[in-house]
């Protein structure tokens, strides 16, 4: 599968199928600090990604109004 990471921006290729949890663990990323997106849809943490998936991983950005 193709993994597109943001901040810093880079692309990786990973052999699938693989669970979101295992993927994030292999990339040393915390599930609560990133969003995993497949086909413009947020992917739940218990999902399994296929070998032909293209996935984007973005950092969670929080903010508020003053």
Domains in the chain, CATH or no CATH each: 2-59 (3.10.20.30)
Per-residue pLDDT tens for 15-52?
989 999 999 999 999 989 999 999 999 999 889 999 99
pLDDT of residue 45: 85
pLDDT of residue 3: 96
Neighbouring C-beta atoms of residue 55, cutoff 10 Å: 23
- pTM value? 0.83
Write down the number of H helices and E strands in the chain: 1, 7
Sequence-ordered alpha helix ranges (H) in the chain: 20-26
Q: How confident is the model at residue 8 (pLDDT cuts 50, 70, 90)?
A: confident
């Amino acid at each position: 599968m193709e993994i597109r990471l943001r901040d810093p921006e880079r692309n990786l290729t990973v052999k699938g199928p693989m669970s979101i949890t295992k993927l994030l663990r292999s990339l040393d990323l915390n599930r609560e600090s990133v969003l995993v997106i497949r086909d413009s849809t947020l992917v739940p943490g218990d999902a399994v990604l296929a070998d032909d998936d293209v996935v984007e991983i973005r950092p969670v950005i929080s903010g508020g109004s003053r």
